[in-house]
Structure 1
């Protein structure tokens, strides 16, 4: 299959938003890279130096209770560790949905990503978050792009950039997050929400 299979068909022709913390990267239909096929990535940090994010829809079989038991009571169902990306698989990243009315900037243990979405400093005690957070998701590892790399991939049509909702971070196990995010975008993206994982199944 040629490497340009998906690059010039859909996302190239769409109006593009700029990547920023709290935005989503939605993988183009038919993306070749198995690491990112049908993924939805939440951008955690974006600068001239690099871009960091976590994959929201790759759940592992590892229970949070077995690796970070102190956080289990705050973790949204399913209480599993999610695979945030191929880099730093031994590191943990926490993303929280804050309670209504919480001013994220007022709390040093939180870094604002979007409305009611914050990265959590996991060096803090869970007790410090008890009154601030509705639910938490924990990720093993993260995705990282070198300077200019993400810009080139977006320009090539690999990714669509969209705003994140709090519900994206704590989506239930049965949710098709990739399809759900596409369905709420402007046409023609909803038409691709049912793009099959395997083209042979089409």
Structure 2
């Protein structure tokens, strides 16, 4: 499936100043009767707290999402659901996102009355797409020079043995993606009704 902005190129649609972390998910489909419409609902962990770094060497620690969730995400309007981090490809909405002891848990709906939402739902339901990824920024808590990696403020993270332990994030979006970078997080269910 090509997203709406595929011809433009991924680099023009993914903000270069954001960081991304990808996670896989599992599909568990609930059986329904023929008279019940598919709702496109799914749930799972967009991020998990553990000691396993992602492909970028980052580890998110408990508490990292609390401020951004309380603020309603980057703009205060909630966390956006994207397809493959493409800013012009919105397949659905996140109804609820919370941080618990395991990680960042989300409940979302793929919008069946849009072509992208319907196509994405079919791909997720059939197991063709198995990844979730978060797009985030680090807070600029005080003015400091950025390091070579572009990290804005060491107060937002700790570096131990060349690993960043992220303590606070500004969450922009959570995407459904094809190629996850972390292997131990996931959607816990897809609901047909």
Relative to the length of structure 2, the TM-score reads 0.25
TM-score, with normalisation over the residues of structure 1? Answer: 0.24
Higher helix share: 1
